Amino acid sequence: MLLDVQTEVPKTEKMFWIIAPSYKKYADLTYEIGNAEIAYWWCRSPLGAGVDLFMPRAGDRIFDSKPLRALFNAFQHLGVALLSSESTREIEYQEKVLRKITLEHGCILIDLTKAPGYGFWWWTMGVRSILTALTFRAGGDFLTSYGSPMEYDNAVRQAEVAAQCKKKYIDQGIFKDDNVDIGWGGIYEGTANWGHCEMAAMFDRRDGKAEGRERYLEDSAKTTVEHTLGVGLSNLPPGAWKVYGPQIYNYHLWQARIKKAFDPNSSADYEWYVPPIDEIES
């Protein structure tokens, strides 16, 4: 039904898939696109993520098949580029540059303007963030991790480390099997060479495995320190201050003193923040 969406796409807008052969090549490609200042936005979007977004029940069978899993892995380092301008000549120039960059980096470019249902893809990716809402379909809930705004080779490294960390929890049944790497994110404002890449994980909140998900967030937080990845958007398990405080000028000690001053009786819930200073220093 979604593919039946009808919308008129302006002639000065074009959308492409670009598939890189590796994490490094994807990061190199991203820097070139940012330096060229040609993309309205450029966003990492592994194809495997779409399985659970658009056909979550079929996804369980698809990822049980080794050949099909390998097929989706071939599109793991996929990005979506949107070109936009008020000028037809400008769009033609942007496309020419994009094709040149893609060729020089040994990547594959697919012109989505020729694909069936292009109006739907353009509306979804370029106008409305419908795909985010679809993330709830597979298991009923999801979380994100990593996602520190950094130079983009670091952002891509976050996806690589996150996939290794997350797989253990998929194997334990804590998260739904979604082909592991569904890291999403891109460079900011279409011209910068820094951005973020956050790793989503889908699950059923009724499964009684909340402690496992908290362990994942704790492990993922520790890997950001181990690999110098920065403080992620969502790497905040209970007690995160124990991991990040010593790395960030012992901010937790000052926050704990403020907590003690404004809430001496600990009336407020501090599970996701810091306890009063006397509890830390005891």
Answer yes or no: do 160 and 276 share one domain. no
Task: Write the pLDDT tens digit of every residue in 163-205.
Answer: 999 999 999 999 998 889 988 888 987 778 899 999 999 999 8
Whether residue 170 sits in one domain with residue 34: yes
Phi, psi of 143 (to 5 degrees): -135, 165
Query: Domain check: are 204 and 278 in the same one?
Result: no
CA nearest to 118, candidates 15, 1, 11: 15
Kindly state whether residues 253 and 231 are assigned to the same domain: no
* Domain co-membership, 71 together with 141: yes
Range of the domain at 267: 239-282
Please state, in angstroms and rounded to a whole number, the distance separating the CA atoms of residues 132 and 91.
28
Do residues 128 and 250 both lie within one domain?
Answer: no
Q: What is the CATH number of the domain that holds 79?
A: 3.40.462.10
Give the per-residue pLDDT at 3. 57
64, 128: one domain: yes
Same domain flag for 263 and 251: yes
pLDDT in tens, 214-265: 999 999 999 999 999 988 777 778 888 999 999 889 999 999 999 999 999 9
157 pLDDT more than 80: yes
* β-bridge mates for residue 200, sequence order: 144
Of 179, 178, 84, 184, residue with least CA distance to 131: 184
User: What pLDDT score does 220 carry?
Assistant: 93
In the chain, % of residues over pLDDT 90: 47
Q: Determine phi and psi for 227, rounding to 5 degrees.
A: -105, 10
Same domain, 104 and 184: yes
- Is residue 194 located within the same domain as residue 125? yes
Confidence of residue 126 (pLDDT cuts 50, 70, 90): low
Q: What angle do CA 99, 109, 105 make, to 5 degrees?
A: 65
pLDDT of residue 4: 63
Task: Give the model's pLDDT for residue 72.
Answer: 86
148 and 247 in one domain? no
Q: Which of 237, 257, 274 is the last residue of a domain?
A: 237
Residue 128 pLDDT exceeds 70: no
Q: Do 218 and 254 lie in a common domain?
A: no
Number of structural domains the chain divides into: 2
